[in-house]
């Protein structure tokens, strides 16, 4: 079946530090890949996505590249801010008979200190 594995957290960084959150997946075919972010007390919102191999998704200074050879979609940001403190979820959509169902990783808590 399909699965997503994220690096274990929590991750604690100082402001302006470099961020990497690892995400690897298992899926048949060619899934679409997503990063969702959940700010405290809120629902999930889409951060970025990539639909085919070698695509790079980017938004708000965050980037992730769809690497089919390593089945990975790692999230990076060059300089984090306190406002980036949130839970980050990697997810995949396998298409086919899924009726839009997403498979999520377990989430990574990021805390950024001033």
Partner 1 sequence: NAGVTQTPKFQVLKTGQSMTLQCAQDMNHNSMYWYRQDPGMGLRLIYYSASEGTTDKGEVPNGYNVSRLNKREFSLRLESAAPSQTSVYFCAHGRTSGDLLLGEQYFGPGTRLTVT
HSE-up (13 A, CA, CB side) for residue 52: 0
Interface pick for partner 1 out of 29, 40, 100, 114 (rule CB under 8 A): 100
The reply to whether 98 sits near partner 1 by the rule CB under 8 A is: yes
4 touches partner 1 (CB under 8 A): yes
Shortest distance, position 114 Cβ to partner 1, whole Å: 26
Sign (positive/negative) of CA torsion 26, 30, 31, 34?
A: positive
In angstroms, give the least distance from the CB of 107 to partner 1: 5
Query: Can you state the percent helix, strand and coil of the chain, rounding each to 5?
Result: 5, 50, 45
Of 17-25, 54-62, 73-81, 102-110: span binding partner 1 (CB under 8 A): 102-110
Cβ-contact 111, 12 below 8 angstroms: yes
| Among the listed residues 12, 20, 28, 45, the single contact to partner 1 using CB under 8 A | 45
Q: Closer CB to partner 1, residue 100 or residue 114?
A: 100
How far, CA to CA in Å, does 83 sit from each of 5, 14, 16, 39?
25, 12, 11, 9
One of 63, 71, 95, 111 touching partner 1 (CB under 8 A): 95
Is residue 22 within the footprint of partner 1 (CB under 8 A)? no
Helix (H, G, I), strand (E, B) or coil at 55: coil
């Amino acid at each position: 079946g399909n699965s997503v594995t994220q690096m274990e957290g929590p991750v604690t960084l100082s402001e302006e530090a470099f961020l990497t959150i690892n995400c690897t997946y298992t899926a048949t075919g060619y899934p679409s890949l997503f990063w969702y972010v959940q700010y405290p007390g809120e629902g999930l919102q889409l951060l970025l996505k990539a639909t085919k191999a070698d695509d790079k998704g980017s938004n708000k200074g965050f980037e992730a590249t769809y690497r089919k050879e390593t089945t990975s979609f790692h999230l990076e940001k060059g300089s984090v801010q306190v406002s980036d403190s949130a839970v980050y979820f990697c997810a995949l959509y396998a298409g086919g008979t899924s009726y839009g169902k997403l498979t999520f990783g377990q989430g990574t808590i990021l805390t950024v200190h001033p």
